[in-house]
Amino acid sequence: MSNRYLPSDSWKYKQSLYSSFNNNLLSGLSQGLNLYSPEKDLTLYKNTDISKLDNVSFDQINKDIDTNDNLFNNAKSTISGGISGTLEGIGDGLGKGIHNFLYNLVNVEGLKTYAGIFLLFLIVYKKL
């Protein structure tokens, strides 16, 4: 036996079908319409069993849904905040790095440094 709190869809469909049949049967009888006789038609009445819903606490289900929804939204906002913070940090770092590179490239001291690194790279490359 599983721990199912809510009835299955087939049970729900069966109860809906029986309820609709009973409503149409009683409506026809109240209008004086019958298939055989009113007494015999009442034997066609289908019993609907909603006792499965007696054990269901809809207040508890709604509380669980609200709790799970809050947990989901909190986790979602934390993750999206972490991702956006990381991306913002990467963007700031790249922006500062590019700014420093371009600033040093225009600066005379920066030109000497980059020219020295380039010459060192050429020497090492030719030796290989």
Distance CA 16, CA 22 (A): 10
> pTM surpassing 0.85?
no
Distances (CA, A) of 103 to 95, 98, 107, 110, 118: 12, 8, 6, 8, 17
d(CA 120, CA 128): 13
Half-sphere exposure of 79 (CA within 13 A, CB side): 6
pLDDT tens for the 128 residues of the chain, in order: 345 566 777 888 888 899 999 999 989 888 988 888 888 888 888 888 877 777 777 788 777 777 776 666 666 666 766 676 677 777 777 777 777 777 666 666 667 777 888 888 888 888 87
